[in-house]
Amino acid sequence: MEVIIKKDYDEVCSESAAIIEEAWRRKKNLVLGFATGKTPLGLYENLIGLYRQGRIDFAEVVAFNLDEYVGLEESHPQSFAYYMDHHLFRQVNIRKENIFRLSGRPADIEEHCRAYEQKIHDAGGIDIQILGIGKNGHIAFNEPGSSLSSRTRLKGLTPETVAANRPFFQDEKEVPRFCLTLGIGTIIETKMALLLASGKAKAEIIARAVEGPVTASVPASALQLHARAKFVIDEAAASGLTNKDYYRWAYKNKDRVTEAVKK
Ligand code: PGA
């Protein structure tokens, strides 16, 4: 795991965009997994900026959305599909046929989830999975208790999530109770997991995810089993980490250490 500590939210977003830009320079048909929430918004703004400057091009990029509410049409403003279209896809030159989404209204849920995993496989796997982290440690909609080897599947939303979503819907009956989400096992198999976190409210859960035991009670702790996980976090979110001086040293001296080993 690599823990990259930046000064503030803006630096978290620009650093994460730089990681994606560098990966894209090496592989133009990069396969990206996209997350929703407040945290990645600044990253998406940075990616749009890089695209406008001609530093990144999405013509061959392939996108997989991380989760979706069951029952919502793609056109619903609360759907994951709408969020990604609105905050990124419509503003860059990604091809429609290269955008893969979990449907909120699949005819056969199990078959849809199985086929989604197959599409990820057929695309050669996800190169970079962008992630946020919930205050309870969830990644995607894998809430505490989710199996660490879970695959893409139907999940019930926690009462807290249902209550938090209530104001965004006119009718109580419309508020989603279920979702489809990539599993923790699916996320661990991606080639790189890029988790962004910002602010004091995330400090405790970041410390548990990075330095605590691997446990289904903190789904993000499963990233300790990931071959290449990067946590890009700001000072406030890093404030609960015991080993932050070491993470800072390791990041600052990364190139020097690599050179020394080559000699
Ligand atoms: P947030 O959500 O970025 O809005 O804090 C993160 C998450 O719940 O995954």
Question: Ligand 1: distance of its center to the CA of 92 in Å?
Answer: 23
Report the pLDDT value the prediction gives residue 235, as an integer from 0 to 100.
Answer: 98
Report the pLDDT value the prediction gives residue 165, as an integer from 0 to 100.
Answer: 86
Whose Cα sits closest to atom 2 in ligand 1? 37
Pairing of β 62-65 and β 31-34: parallel
Report the pLDDT value the prediction gives residue 262, as an integer from 0 to 100.
Answer: 74
d(CA 194, CA 34): 10
Closest approach atom of ligand 1 to CA 131:
9
Report the pLDDT value the prediction gives residue 255, as an integer from 0 to 100.
Answer: 78
Report the pLDDT value the prediction gives residue 259, as an integer from 0 to 100.
Answer: 75
Question: Ligand 1: distance of its center to the CA of 253 in Å?
Answer: 30
Report the pLDDT value the prediction gives residue 17, as an integer from 0 to 100.
Answer: 98
Q: Is 39 in the pocket of ligand 1 (CB under 6 A)?
A: yes
Report the pLDDT value the prediction gives residue 164, as an integer from 0 to 100.
Answer: 83
Q: Model-level pTM? A: 0.95
For the chain, 263 residues long, the average pLDDT of each consecutive 10-residue run is 98 98 98 97 98 98 97 93 97 98 96 98 98 95 96 94 88 93 98 98 98 98 98 98 96 80 72
